[in-house]
Amino acid sequence: MTIALPASIDETLSLLNGEDYVADRSLATVLYLSLKMGRPLFLEGEAGVGKTEIAKVLSKALDRPLIRLQCYEGLDISSAVYEWNYAAQMIDIRIAEASGETKRETLHKDIFSDDYLIRRPVLEALSGEPGRPPVFLIDELDRTDEAFEAFLLEVLSDFQVTIPEYGTIKAVERPAVIITTNRTREIHDALKRRCLYHWVDYPTAERELEIVARKAPQANRRLSEEVVGYVQKLREMELFKAPGVAETIDWATALTELDRVALDPATISDTIGVLLKYQDDIARLQGSEGKRILDDVKADLDAA
């Protein structure tokens, strides 16, 4: 059964909320417009703030396939879009020659057909089944180079791919496209102009507490409040990499597995590697600095 797209911003909020994604209204608004207008959604923000999760939630809520293109340095068309099955082509050429078929035009038509076309994520996203176009996630686009960005311009503006030996493949129904970037480098304006844009920021303490309550429901309220308060204060520091929401959830879960009901300096020291991933950041919280932050968190909670 085809699930209809949300008909309003409030329905979009409810759709996300139904899949335990706690979004603010500005995100719901731009997501609604992206779906309504058939435009790609370009999400930028720090790692771990929930950009990728939006595509996953949308796929699940709309009951559509999720096609993910994980970007990396050196990503090329053969890995991202399509390639020909050269081994099978060569075998069939040899068979045709052995049977006396040598007409170049016939061979060309036979070997550059669907039977030999290997579809990679971009082509799969454009070839979705009617009535159920996929959610296409282009994840961490900033890890690729400008040449690949340039190739995506045709895909994001016309939702088509041109294959020299085959022709142009155009999407019958546009997929819902979500592009994420951690802003390790600037993405060209030509690509951004084809998208709607939203900056995904770290959540407020209230929203992050709700996220933890949904994603780590086994954690008691006081522990969750202290975890969120501690993480919020860490993000105010000049760390090499501030913890994201994913790390907050992992820390609350880990502490619960250890049967902790509140934070203490020893527990923080033992488990800080769940929250922070760089030794220089961890070293800053050893000793008095980590205890000072914890004291501030507890004082704030007691005063509330």
For the segment 90-100, the average pLDDT, to the nearest whole number, is 78
Residues 214 and 23 sit within 8 Å (Cβ to Cβ) = no
Place of tokens 């802003």: 183
pTM of the predicted structure, to 2 decimals = 0.89
Weakest-pLDDT range from 27-36, 50-59, 114-123: 114-123
C-beta contacts of 226-231 below 8 A and 24+ residues apart: 226/262, 226/263, 226/294, 226/297, 226/298, 226/301, 227/251, 227/252, 227/255, 227/263, 229/205, 229/297, 229/300, 229/301, 230/263, 230/268, 230/293, 230/294, 230/297, 231/275
Pick from 221, 197, 209: which is nearest to 245 by CA? 209
pLDDT at 98: 76
3-state DSSP call for residue 65? coil
pLDDT at 204: 94
- Percent of the chain topping pLDDT 90: 75
Q: Which residue did the predictor score with more confidence, 183 or 68?
A: 68
Pick from 244, 272, 254: which is nearest to 52 by CA? 244
pLDDT tens per residue, range 10-22: 999 999 999 999 9
Q: Which two tokens stand for residue 174?
A: 């546009």
pLDDT at 109: 62
Q: What is the residue type of 11? A: E
pLDDT tens per residue, range 39-87: 999 999 998 899 999 999 999 999 999 999 999 999 988 899 999 998 9
Q: What's the rounded Cα separation, in Å, for the pair 186 and 42?
A: 13
Pick from 215, 207, 29: which is nearest to 15 by CA? 29
Q: What's the rounded Cα separation, in Å, for the pair 17 and 11?
A: 10
Pick from 174, 160, 166, 171: which is nearest to 38 by CA? 174
At residue 179's C-alpha, the angle toward residues 185 and 45, to 5°, is: 55
